[in-house]
């Protein structure tokens, strides 16, 4: 039995499922919708729990400072893996960057220190490129070797250059500490909008801070977040955030970026079209090393005022995790860096807010569950639903976490969210595999 045109007209247009409507959105629209939902959930949780630090300007400012080194590490991994090289050596390149940044800032000032940090990271990146591209060394072995080499090298260099040396404003270097740097990188605070950077709600606040102190639903939360972005914003932070759209534009809007990504997806096909795959891999690893070194330099110059041994604290590995969380895309890894750093900032500012954070993460996982159900991804739905239930139970039963659990909270939360998103991830097809020109794969 066939349908007539009249039957079709009576039935009306075909209904589109929610999953199809979501997938039809552009990536920019999905990012904006996701950000709006996240902000709304934060406001709801803050209103229910009274944990005002969830959206306070101080938390936002701290999150920015903590996120930048991880963001640089994630961008380092992105540049490497998009061209087909697994960069486990990001931690070592960051270590070289911290030492180079501390040395340059002590001798010549903070901006030169950042340049020295990038050079230090590039040295590590080119060593990794030489080992993996020229000699086909296993990428993981080469990366771990760089991590060990970097830790020993900076210890030796500190003994040679820092021990007994004085800084411009006092302070003496040691085998684990550089002399203090010359000056600092300027910070921008729009005080006619945000009031004093160190203002208190008890000291007659004005501007956005007055709105933040009113504790109004959504409005005060928005004021706190905006004030956090406009207060004590280092020029180096602005530079770091600007690298995200620059990287996205280069990789997805330029011919060079297309060739670079093709080298990590199908190098033989790219080579057949005239792409110099090996040359691109060296270039990408130089950029990858510079990004990692910049992250180390940020730690030594902006977060602190001198190099300290061990100050990277495994941020290179965390950066790799955020890169995976972001599905090998700049905006995604920015979200991963913000997630980890937000949890860490909240812990440092007021660990009593961590239980409220458990409720917030539970709601986020519940959204992931609904999304997975709409797309009929049942394994992901079962996992995220169980994780959401666990966080709701923890919020209902735990009123105060021990210091050890509080310190581990950022890692646990990031790990669970990363695992929840694992089924939508797709790494570059040729990442980590050996390649020689002319080989057929």
Straight-line distance from the first to the last Cα atom of the chain, in angstroms, rounded to the nearest whole number: 52
Alpha-carbon gap, residue 51 to 60, rounded angstroms: 14
* Cross-strand partners of 172: 166
Whether residue 171 sits in one domain with residue 281: yes
> DSSP letter string over 261-273?
HHHHH-HHHHHHT
- Going by the DSSP 8-state scheme, the letter that residue 197 receives in this structure is T
The reply to whether 330 falls in a domain is yes
Q: At what angle do helices 57-82 and 315-325 cross, to 10 degrees?
A: 80
pLDDT tens digits for 282-310? Answer: 999 999 999 999 999 999 999 999 999 99
Q: Is 76 within 8 Å of 118 (Cβ atoms)?
A: no
pLDDT tens digits for 167-178? Answer: 777 788 899 999
Neighbours of 304 (CB within 10 A): 17
Whether residue 399 sits in one domain with residue 325: no
Choice between 17 and 54, residue whose per-residue pLDDT is larger? 54
Q: How confident is the model at residue 24 (pLDDT cuts 50, 70, 90)?
A: low
> DSSP letter string over 29-96?
HHHHHHHHHHHHHHHHHHHHH--GGGS-HHHHHHHHHHHHHHHHHHHHHHHHHHTT---TTHHHHHHH
214 by Cβ neighbours in 10 Å (0-12 / 13-18 / 19+) ranks as exposed
Whether residue 385 sits in one domain with residue 250: no
Whether residue 63 sits in one domain with residue 179: yes
Longest dimension (CA), the chain: 94
Domain ends where: 198, 231, 264? 231
What is the bridge-based pairing of β-strands 187-188 and 233-234? Answer: antiparallel
* Cross-strand partners of 234: 187
The reply to whether 364 falls in a domain is yes
Whether residue 406 sits in one domain with residue 328: no
Least confident range from 250-254, 275-279, 296-300, 401-405: namely 401-405
Q: Is 432 left (phi over 0), alpha (psi -120 to 50) or beta?
A: left
Residue 211: both structure tokens together: 């709105």
Return all residues near 168 (Cβ < 8 A) that are at least 6 apart.
Answer: 106, 179, 180, 181, 182
Q: At what angle do helices 403-420 and 378-397 cross, to 10 degrees?
A: 160
Residues 389-406, mean pLDDT to the nearest whole number: 78
The reply to whether 77 falls in a domain is yes
Whether residue 224 sits in one domain with residue 181: no
pTM: 0.89
Whether residue 96 sits in one domain with residue 43: no
Alpha-carbon gap, residue 101 to 344, rounded angstroms: 24
Q: How confident is the model at residue 380 (pLDDT cuts 50, 70, 90)?
A: confident
Average pLDDT score, the chain: 85
- In the predicted model, is pLDDT for residue 77 greater than 70? yes
Whether residue 244 sits in one domain with residue 100: yes
Neighbours of 44 (CB within 10 A): 16
- In the predicted model, is pLDDT for residue 67 greater than 90? yes
Per the listing, tokens 């590039």 go with 122
Alpha-carbon gap, residue 189 to 186, rounded angstroms: 10
Give the total number of structural domains in the chain.
3
Choice between 7 and 291, residue whose per-residue pLDDT is larger? 291
pLDDT at position 379: 81
pLDDT tens digits for 110-168? Answer: 999 999 999 999 999 999 999 999 999 999 999 999 999 999 999 999 999 999 888 77
pLDDT at position 26: 67
Neighbours of 312 (CB within 10 A): 30
Exposure string for 69-89, b = 16+ CB within 10 A, e = fewer: bbbbbbbbbbbbbbbbbbbbb
Whether residue 182 sits in one domain with residue 68: yes
Q: Is 384 within 8 Å of 369 (Cβ atoms)?
A: yes
Whether residue 224 sits in one domain with residue 150: no
pLDDT at position 162: 94
Q: Which of these, 246, 248, 243, lies nearest to 69 by C-alpha position?
A: 243
pLDDT tens digits for 190-226? Answer: 665 655 555 667 677 767 888 888 889 999 999 888 8
Q: Give the range of the structural domain holding residue 213, as residue numbers without chain letter.
A: 190-231
The residue length of the chain stands at: 441
- In the predicted model, is pLDDT for residue 279 greater than 70? yes
User: Which helix (H) or strand (E) covers residue 370, if one does?
Assistant: helix 354-374
Q: Is 330 within 8 Å of 151 (Cβ atoms)?
A: no
The reply to whether 438 falls in a domain is no
Least confident range from 15-29, 90-104, 289-303, 349-363: namely 15-29
The reply to whether 434 falls in a domain is no
pLDDT at position 438: 66
Choice between 82 and 208, residue whose per-residue pLDDT is larger? 82
């Amino acid at each position: 039995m066939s349908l007539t045109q009249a039957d079709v007209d009576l039935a009306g247009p075909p209904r589109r499922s929610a999953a199809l409507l979501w997938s039809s959105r552009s990536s920019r629209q999905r990012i904006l919708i996701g950000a709006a939902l996240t902000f709304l959930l934060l406001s709801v949780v803050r209103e229910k729990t009274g944990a005002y630090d969830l959206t306070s300007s101080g938390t936002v400012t701290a999150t920015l400072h903590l996120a930048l080194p991880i963001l640089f590490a994630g961008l380092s991994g992105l540049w490497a893996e998009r061209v087909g090289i697994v960069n486990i050596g990001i931690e070592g390149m960051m270590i070289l960057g911290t030492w180079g940044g501390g040395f340059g800032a002590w001798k010549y000032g903070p901006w030169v220190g950042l340049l020295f940090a990038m050079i230090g990271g590039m040295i590590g990146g080119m060593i990794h490129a030489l080992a993996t591209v020229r000699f086909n060394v296993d990428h993981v072995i080469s990366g771990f070797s760089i991590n060990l080499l970097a830790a020993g090298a900076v210890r030796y260099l500190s003994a040679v250059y820092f021990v007994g040396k004085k800084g411009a404003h006092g302070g003496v270097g040691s085998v684990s500490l550089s002399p203090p740097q010359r000056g600092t990188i300027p910070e921008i605070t729009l005080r006619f909008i945000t009031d004093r950077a160190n203002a208190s709600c008890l000291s007659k606040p004005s501007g956005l801070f007055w709105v933040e102190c009113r504790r109004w639903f959504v409005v005060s939360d928005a004021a706190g977040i905006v004030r956090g972005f406009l207060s004590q914003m280092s020029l180096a932070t602005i530079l770091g955030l600007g690298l995200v759209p620059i990287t996205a534009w280069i990789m997805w809007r330029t011919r060079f970026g297309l060739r670079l990504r093709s080298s990590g997806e199908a190098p033989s096909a790219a080579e057949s079209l005239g792409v110099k795959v090996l040359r691109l891999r060296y270039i990408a690893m130089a950029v990858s090393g510079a990004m990692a070194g910049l992250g180390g330099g940020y730690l030594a110059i902006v977060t602190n005022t001198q190099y300290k041994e061990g100050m990277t604290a495994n941020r290179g590995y965390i950066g790799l995790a955020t890169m995976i969380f972001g599905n090998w895309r700049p905006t995604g890894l920015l979200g991963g860096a913000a997630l980890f750093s937000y949890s860490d900032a909240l812990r440092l500012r007021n660990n009593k807010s961590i239980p409220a954070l458990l409720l917030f993460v539970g709601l986020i996982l519940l959204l992931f569950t609904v999304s997975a159900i709409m797309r009929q991804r049942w394994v992901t739905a079962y996992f995220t639903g169980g994780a959401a239930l666990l966080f709701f139970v923890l919020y209902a039963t735990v009123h105060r976490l021990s210091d050890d659990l509080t310190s581990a909270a950022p890692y646990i939360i990031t790990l669970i969210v990363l695992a929840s998103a694992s089924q939508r991830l797709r790494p570059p097809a040729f990442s980590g595999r050996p390649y020689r020109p002319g080989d057929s794969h």
